[in-house]
Structure 1
Amino acid sequence: MQTKKVIDHIVNWLKDYAIKANVKGYVLGVSGGVDSGVVSTLCAMTGLEVLLLEMPIRQKQDQVNRAQAHIEDLKKRFPNVTGKTINLTPVFESFENVVHDHVEGRWSNNLALANTRSRFRMLNLYYFGQLHGLLVCGTGNKVEDFGIGFYTKYGDGGVDVSPIADLYKTEVYQLAKDLNLIESIQNAIPTDGLWDAERTDEDQIGATYPELEKIQKEWGSKIEADYTGRDLEVFKIFSRMNKTAQHKMVPIPICDIPEEWRN
């Protein structure tokens, strides 16, 4: 991949979009992962105002350390960058306690609560975005956004722009190297950071990003019968998750009312 051209293209795209939208710049969440590390750096390179928010919710210390180190690194490199840490743990735990008496089973570890963490962060981003005249910048990549739908609807999927959504995860890592991100970000194992127990993306999905990318690149040109062994296993994972996530990837369905009924 011609990373220099890709970097320049995205930076110019972000800058032009913000100027046309008549906003000051961008706000985005920094998690300590490579996607948010790359996107925040690209935003910083526009020269526009950039606000980076680290929003821990019972976060693992290594994730917190990486996020804070990255924010400090960008602040040193780019005078247009500011950063804040907004601890959302009390907000989340208050909500968790409120809903406790209305659900059954392992309420503290279910997927709905995990996604709630992401949605609290989205609310926080839009609050500060509106406060400062900034657009919310997304950090999802191509596999997550358009392959397996590995994101939270109206959580990290609730954004104004999505600059790396046409890049595969492996390509994002290439950009991270050329953008000279701190080593801990470049070497970070992908995780969504939504669970109390450590769960990597691979643990949750059952496949690595390179394996998923291979299937996505062949999606539509090959069928299940074309695969064997591990490729077949990953094809089934990709197919199942893609089908389940279609409601995230297509426009919200609208119930059309026949025009003659309006008379």
Structure 2
Amino acid sequence: MQTQKVIDHIVNWLKDYAVKAKVNGYVIGVSGGVDSGVVSTLCAMTGLEVLALEMPIRQKADQVNRAQDHIEDLKKKFPNVKSETVNLTPVFESFENIVSAHSEGNPNNNLALANTRSRFRMLNLYYFGQLHGLLVCGTGNKVEDFGIGFYTKYGDGGVDVSPIADLYKTEVYELARALNLIESIQNAIPTDGLWDTERTDEDQIGATYPELEKIQKEYGTKTAEDYEGRDKEVFQIFDRMHKAAKHKMVPIPICDIPEDWRA
């Protein structure tokens, strides 16, 4: 990958989009992962106003430390970057207590609460975006957004722009090295940070990003019968998750009313 060309292209794209939209810049949630680390840096490179938000919800200490260290490094390098920390744990726990009477014994409860964390963060991003005239910048990569749909609908999927959605995860790591992000971000093990227990993306998905990327690049031209061994297992994981998440990747269905019924 021609890394510098990609970096320059994304930075120019972000700047051009914000200028045409007549906004001041971007607000972005910084989680301590490589995706938000890269995107927040690219936003900062536009020279426009950037607000980096840390929004912990019962977050693991290593995630909090990485996020804070990255934000401080970013602010040292770019005077246009400001930051805020909004602890959403009390909000989430209040909601959790309110709905507990309706969810006792329901096997979907933990996943519903995990997605709720992401949706609370989306609300917070749009609140600060509206306060300061900023667009919400997404951090999803190509595998997450268009491969297996590994994001929360109207959570981290609720954004105004998505600058790295055409980059595979391995390519995002390439950008992290080229941008000289802090070591802990470059080496961060992918996790969505939505669970009380430690769950990496690989734990949840059952495959690594390089394995998924191989399948995504061939998806649509090959079937399960074209693979064997581990590749076949990963194809089946990808195929199942892609089909289940298709509703996230297409426009909201609209029930069309025949024109002659309007008469």
TM range (shorter): over 0.9
- Equivalent residue of 2:151, what SS? coil
Whole-Å Cα distance in 1 between the matches of residues 178 and 229 of structure 2?
A: 35
The residue type equivalent to 2:230 in the other structure is R
Question: Structure 1: 5+ residue runs without aligned partners?
Answer: none
Q: Deviations over 1:102-138 (max 9, x none)?
A: 1121679610000000000000000000000000000
Alignment of 1:9-20 (within 5 A): 9-20=9-20
- Kindly indicate whether the alpha-carbon contact (under 8 Å) linking 1:109 and 1:195 is maintained by their aligned counterparts in 2: no
The question of whether the paired residues in 1 share the 8 Å contact of 2:191 and 2:200 is answered with yes
TM-score, normalised via structure 2 length: 0.99
Contact conserved, 2:103 with 2:109, CA < 8 A, in 1? no
Residues 61, 108 of structure 1: alpha-carbon distance in 2 compared, 3 angstrom cutoff: farther
Gaps of 5+ in 2: none
Q: Give the corresponding residue for 2:123.
A: 123
Partner of 1:259: 259
Q: Distance in 1 between matches of 2:67 and 2:146?
A: 26
Distance in 2 (CA, whole Å) between partners of 1:79 and 1:22 is 21
Tell me the alpha carbon deviations over residues 30-61 of structure 1, each in whole angstroms, 9 at most, x when there is no partner: 00000000000000000000000000000000
Q: 27-36 or 99-108, which moves further after superposition?
A: 99-108
**Which residue is 2:49 aligned to?**
49
Q: Distance in 2 between matches of 1:30 and 1:244?
A: 28
Shift of 1:219: 0.8
Aligned partner of 2:252: which letter? I
Distance (Å, rounded) in 1 between the aligned partners of 2:107 and 2:82: 37
SS in structure 1 at match of 2:138: coil
Q: Could you tell me how far apart the structure 1 residues matched to 2:231 and 2:260 are? A: 52
Change in 2 beyond 3 A, CA 1:109/1:183: farther
State percent identity of aligned pairs. 86
For residues 182-261 of structure 1, the aligned pairs below 5 Å read 182-261=182-261
Partner of 1:73: 73
Task: Give the counterpart letter for 1:44 in structure 2.
Answer: A
1:137-152 residue pairs with structure 2 within 5 A?
A: 137-152=137-152
- Where does residue 165 of structure 2 map in the other structure? 165
* Number of aligned residues: 263
Give the Cα–Cα distance (whole angstroms) in 2 for the partners of residues 188 and 125 of structure 1.
Answer: 23
Paired with 2:38 and 2:103, the residues of 1 have a C-alpha distance of 39
Query: C-alpha displacement at 1:81, in angstroms?
Result: 0.1
Amino acid of the structure 2 residue aligned with 1:13 = W
